[in-house]
């Protein structure tokens, strides 16, 4: 875990006596101080390094009173990174000049000669306000991610021996910072296990940020993962915080890791090796204090053999491999899970005292569950909605895909009385669910069968919460 660092201040003035005085003042207040005496030096340092605040004189070589050089510098610095507060200094203060500096983006104004207490108070205030603004931005993006992921996580149920073994190993590795690769079929609860590892770790007080790697387009990969600065490209209208920065001191869950385009894998590898990254459009290097948890339902070793996945990246990800067994191999977990989902959806739809018939319980255990826990979740929700009695029986479960297909084929689409009332989203969601059952939950095969690109298919999976 990273240690707390003192804020860094960039002080720019062409008077070396002023530079020396401000360095002494700020250093005694536990700030790290970098000095610059020329406008070109100010811009170069600002591009290369990260600062919490800038103290900027308005006059350099051009003249001593107009402030034109300083005003131009403010504009340049704000174009590079408008999140860093710039406090201007001048010995030729006028109301007009003060107004101009604020219009250019300055955060505050100090007149020379200054009062030490005022300088320290202004610097402290501006750093605090900038930090609060950054945290607000970060929280806003985290909330957007949490809204998109709401309802995905369920409690870990581990009555089966196979699942108990996985949890024992997960608890052992959670207390360390080593990277973990979770493998298993689609719908087995890989994201749930990732959350458990994070909550058991020393990073639990910080964020767990989830990224569906299959849903990120190749062109936006760097912007999504590392962030971008305003103006970095055509649609970059404001600064964006990337997933690595959002997960700072926490954990980053890279789901469907096998879907990262080969062209972008080297960029991810570089961050994992150096623990550093740059935002798109910025040359400033930022530290990445992040624990990586990755997951895939693909045969990642075969991807390596086929040249689709870098072996060195896999070695960075699979320090420890946890394999989640499919639901059909967790017989002791099926009924407890089903009862949990029954209770959950009974409360949601205000249905009281629902229970499974003996035949339904038997069928739950013997069914193969190609969609695993996700299929069980949706199956129980549908059963609760369709049930007219307190007892949930086989009729409401509709467990066998073949039986459902036969019923549809026998009846025909024209026989559905409400078919014309269904939305396109309803029809598309049903088709995707049926195709997932037909292909045993293999996402790659389903996307190919639907004629969709990887990213387009995963956008639909997220859209319909499948």
- 45 and 117 share one domain: yes
The phi, psi pair for 33, rounded to 5°, reads -115, 130
- 231 and 250 share one domain: yes
CATH of the domain at 443: 1.10.10.60
pLDDT digits (tens, 9 = 90+) for 22-60: 999 999 998 999 999 888 899 989 888 889 899 988 877
CATH of the domain at 55: 3.40.50.2300
Average model confidence (pLDDT) for the chain?
A: 83
61 band by pLDDT with thresholds 50, 70 and 90: low
Q: Which of 79-83, 149-153, 160-164, 270-274 has the lowest mean pLDDT?
A: 149-153
pLDDT digits (tens, 9 = 90+) for 350-406: 988 899 999 899 989 989 898 899 999 999 999 999 888 899 988 888 765 543 343
- Given a cut of 80, is residue 465 above it in pLDDT? no
- Given a cut of 70, is residue 295 above it in pLDDT? yes
CA distance 32 to 10: 9
pLDDT for residue 318: 92
- 308 and 383 share one domain: no
The alpha-helical segments, DSSP class H, found in 306-357 are 311-317, 331-348
CA distance 141 to 240: 9
Of residues 51 and 150, the one with the higher pLDDT is 51
108 band by pLDDT with thresholds 50, 70 and 90: confident
pLDDT for residue 9: 93
* Concatenated DSSP letters of 142-163: HHHHHHHHTT--------SHHH
151 band by pLDDT with thresholds 50, 70 and 90: very low
pLDDT for residue 408: 39
Task: Write out the two tokens for 24.
Answer: 């002494």
Indicate the number of domains in the chain: 4
Of 323, 350, 379, the last residue of a domain is: 323
pLDDT digits (tens, 9 = 90+) for 420-458: 556 777 777 878 877 877 776 677 777 888 877 777 777
- 180 and 316 share one domain: yes
- 178 and 299 share one domain: yes
Q: What is this structure's pTM?
A: 0.63
**Does residue 215 sit within a domain?**
yes
**Does residue 140 sit within a domain?**
no
User: What average pLDDT does range 226-233 have in this prediction?
Assistant: 84
**Does residue 123 sit within a domain?**
yes
pLDDT for residue 402: 43
pLDDT for residue 129: 82
**Does residue 149 sit within a domain?**
no
**Does residue 32 sit within a domain?**
yes
pLDDT for residue 406: 38
Full domain range(s) for residue 461: 417-466
145 band by pLDDT with thresholds 50, 70 and 90: low
- 167 and 91 share one domain: no
- 267 and 372 share one domain: no
- 231 and 90 share one domain: no
**Which of 272, 310, 328, 304 minimizes the C-alpha distance to 441?**
328
Of 271, 293, 323, the last residue of a domain is: 323
- 293 and 178 share one domain: yes
Residue 3 per-residue DSSP state: P
Across the strands, what pairs with 88?
Answer: 56, 109
**Does residue 153 sit within a domain?**
no
- 65 and 165 share one domain: no
**Which of 66, 57, 73, 139 minimizes the C-alpha distance to 105?**
73
User: What average pLDDT does range 152-164 have in this prediction?
Assistant: 81
Of 371, 399, 427, the last residue of a domain is: 399
- 379 and 427 share one domain: no
- 190 and 227 share one domain: yes
**Does residue 240 sit within a domain?**
yes
Of residues 210 and 48, the one with the higher pLDDT is 210
**Does residue 454 sit within a domain?**
yes
169 band by pLDDT with thresholds 50, 70 and 90: very high
Q: Which residues, including other chains, have CB under 8 Å from residue 337's CB and lie 6 or more apart? A: 157, 327, 373, 376
Across the strands, what pairs with 13?
Answer: none
CATH of the domain at 371: 1.10.8.60
């Amino acid at each position: 875990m990273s240690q707390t660092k003192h804020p860094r201040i960039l002080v720019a003035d062409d008077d070396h006596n002023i530079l020396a005085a401000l360095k002494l003042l700020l250093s005694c207040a536990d700030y790290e101080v970098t000095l610059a005496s020329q406008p070109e030096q100010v811009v170069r340092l600002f591009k290369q390094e990260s600062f919490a605040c800038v103290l900027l004189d308005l006059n350099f070589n051009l003249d001593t009173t107009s402030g034109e050089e300083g005003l131009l510098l403010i504009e340049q610095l704000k174009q590079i990174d408008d999140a860093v507060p710039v406090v201007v200094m001048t010995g030729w203060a006028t109301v007009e000049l003060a107004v101009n500096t604020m219009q250019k983006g300055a955060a505050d104004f100090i007149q020379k000669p200054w009062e030490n207490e005022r300088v320290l108070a202004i610097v402290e205030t501006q750093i605090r306000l900038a930090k609060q603004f950054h945290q607000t931005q970060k929280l806003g993006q985290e909330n957007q991610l949490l809204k998109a992921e709401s309802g995905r996580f369920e409690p870990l149920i581990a009555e089966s021996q196979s699942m108990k073994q996985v949890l024992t190993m997960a608890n052992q590795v959670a207390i360390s910072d080593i990277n973990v690769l979770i493998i298993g079929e689609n719908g087995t609860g890989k994201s749930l296990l990732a959350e458990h590892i994070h909550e058991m770790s020393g990073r639990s007080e910080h964020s767990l940020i989830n990224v569906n790697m299959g849903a990120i387009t190749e062109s936006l990969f760097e912007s999504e993962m590392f962030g971008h600065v305003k103006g970095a490209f055509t649609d970059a209208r404001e600064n964006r915080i990337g997933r690595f920065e959002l997960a700072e001191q926490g954990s980053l869950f890279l789901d469907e890791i096998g879907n990262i385009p080969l062209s972008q894998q080297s960029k991810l590898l570089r961050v994992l090796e150096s623990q550093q990254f740059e935002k798109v459009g910025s040359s400033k290097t930022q530290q990445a204090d992040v624990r990586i948890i990755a997951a895939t339902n693909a045969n990642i070793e075969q991807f390596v053999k086929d040249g689709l996945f870098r072996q060195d990246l896999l070695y960075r990800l699979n320090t420890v491999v946890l394999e989640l067994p499919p639901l059909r191999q967790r017989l002791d977990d099926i009924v407890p899970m089903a009862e949990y989902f029954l209770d959950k959806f009974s409360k949601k739809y205000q249905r009281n005292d629902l229970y499974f018939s003996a035949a339904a319980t038997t069928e739950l255990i013997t069914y193969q569950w190609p969609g695993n826990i996700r299929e069980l979740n949706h199956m129980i929700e549908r059963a609760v909605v369709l049930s007219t009695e307190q007892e949930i029986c086989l009729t409401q479960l509709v467990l066998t895909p073949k039986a459902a297909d036969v019923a549809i084929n026998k009846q025909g689409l024209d026989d559905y009385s409400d078919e014309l009332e269904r939305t396109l989203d309803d029809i598309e969601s049903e088709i995707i669910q049926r195709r997932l059952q037909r292909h045993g939950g293999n996402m790659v095969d389903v996307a190919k069968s639907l004629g969709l690109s990887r990213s387009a298919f995963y956008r639909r999976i997220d859209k319909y919460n499948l």
